[in-house]
Structure 1
């Protein structure tokens, strides 16, 4: 498990491209037969990816957690982004099709991940946050998410925002997750932008062609920067940073949040005229 420390906004102003990518971009999450994790000190979220093929994979506690098992003091959300998956939590099997979400609460000791058909392997993206309360394991297909239809073709940001793990959906301690799908011809996400100083956020960009890219906007509103992101790469967005993006084509992304407040609308909007 890779560990990333928090970055002060005054320091980030001085980073070159290589330093920005080192601190905020996760370039490789999915590798056949492997589990990859990144632990960020921004609200102590763990961002990970698993690609089971022929063999089942286990989510185990890395030494850095100093716990007996992964969910001893944590909760976790999985979203499947590829072939059909099977997640087994303490002996209970859950089948996940593409874009289905599974929440697993604190105290579950065993997590096993499999591909239903090894010739079409699953890719399971997951985010885990600290938890001080226990909530039941629950699966939600994408069709049962709380869907909001936002934007328009005129502003190149027509999209579906699917809230899944949140106060009106799957209950959790502090983790929130959802999936935003941009319509063909739309390329902008989260514009006008915002910050939320009370929680961090992680983005996974996917369903991009190999030669397509997303220009992810970050930084303080008066000191913006950008990262060029390829398919199935993730962003760690600290609480002080905006998080918007524009692609060379449409795409899908998973957003995950953890921190102080558990209210989706707790954000401070930044109009485009205030960005520099």
Structure 2
């Protein structure tokens, strides 16, 4: 498990492109028959990916968490972005189709990840946050995630928002997770932008064409920067940073949050004229 520390927004103004990428971009999450993860000191979130083809992969604490098992003091959400997945939680099996989500709460000891068919393997993206209360394991399909249609083609942001883990959906301690899919011809997400100083956010960009890229906007509103992101790469977004993106074609992204507040309305909008 890779460890990344927090950064000072004043110092970030001096970062080169390569330093920005080292701190905030996760370039490789899905390696065959491996579980890859990054522990960020922003709200202690763990961002990871599992690509089981020939073997089952176990969710383990390793040396980083200093706990007996991964979910001893944590909760986790899994999003399937590949073929059908089979997740076993303390002996109980859950099957996930593409864009299904499984939430597993604090206290579950044995979590095994596998593909239902190795000819069409799954790719499981996951985010884990600290938890001080136990909530039940629950699966939610894409159809159950209350799809919300937003934006328009005229403003290049026609999209569908799927909310999975949140106050009115799958209950959790502090983790929130959803998916936004942009329609053909639309490329912008989260613009006008905002910040939420009381919680961090992670983005996974996927369904990005091989020859396409997403320009992820970050930084303080008065000192914006950008990261060029390819398919199935993730972003760590600090609480002090905006988090918007524009692609060279349409794409899909998973957003997840952890921190102080458990509500979508905890954000500070940034007026267009304030962006620099």
Q: How many residues align?
A: 276
What is aligned with 2:194? 194
For residues 62 and 243 of structure 1, the distance between their equivalents in structure 2, rounded to whole angstroms, comes to 31
For residues 220 and 274 of structure 2, the distance between their equivalents in structure 1, rounded to whole angstroms, comes to 10
What is aligned with 2:251? 251
The alpha carbon displacement at 1:146 in A equals 2.5
| CA RMSD of superposed structures (Å) | 0.5
What is aligned with 1:226? 226
What is aligned with 2:265? 265
Name the SS for the 2:107 alignment partner: coil
The alpha carbon displacement at 1:33 in A equals 0.4
Segments ≥4 residues shifted beyond 3 Å: none
What is aligned with 2:169? 169
For residues 219 and 164 of structure 2, the distance between their equivalents in structure 1, rounded to whole angstroms, comes to 27
What is aligned with 2:104? 104
The alpha carbon displacement at 1:147 in A equals 2.2
What is aligned with 1:146? 146
Q: Which runs of 5+ in 1 are unaligned?
A: none
Q: Deviations over 1:52-71 (max 9, x none)?
A: 00111101012011100000
Name the SS for the 2:32 alignment partner: coil
For residues 168 and 133 of structure 1, the distance between their equivalents in structure 2, rounded to whole angstroms, comes to 17
Name the SS for the 1:65 alignment partner: coil
Q: Which runs of 5+ in 2 are unaligned?
A: none
Name the SS for the 1:155 alignment partner: coil
For residues 98 and 133 of structure 1, the distance between their equivalents in structure 2, rounded to whole angstroms, comes to 29
1:83-162 counterparts in 2 under 5 A? 83-162=83-162
Name the SS for the 2:181 alignment partner: strand
For residues 10 and 62 of structure 1, the distance between their equivalents in structure 2, rounded to whole angstroms, comes to 33
For residues 172 and 214 of structure 2, the distance between their equivalents in structure 1, rounded to whole angstroms, comes to 30
Name the SS for the 2:10 alignment partner: helix
For residues 248 and 119 of structure 1, the distance between their equivalents in structure 2, rounded to whole angstroms, comes to 31
Name the SS for the 1:77 alignment partner: strand
Residue 212 of structure 1 pairs with residue 212 of structure 2: yes
TM-score after normalising by structure 1: 0.99
Name the SS for the 2:6 alignment partner: coil
The alpha carbon displacement at 1:9 in A equals 0.4
Name the SS for the 2:64 alignment partner: helix
For residues 11 and 148 of structure 2, the distance between their equivalents in structure 1, rounded to whole angstroms, comes to 37
The alpha carbon displacement at 1:32 in A equals 0.6
The alpha carbon displacement at 1:113 in A equals 0.3
For residues 62 and 4 of structure 2, the distance between their equivalents in structure 1, rounded to whole angstroms, comes to 15
Name the SS for the 1:66 alignment partner: coil
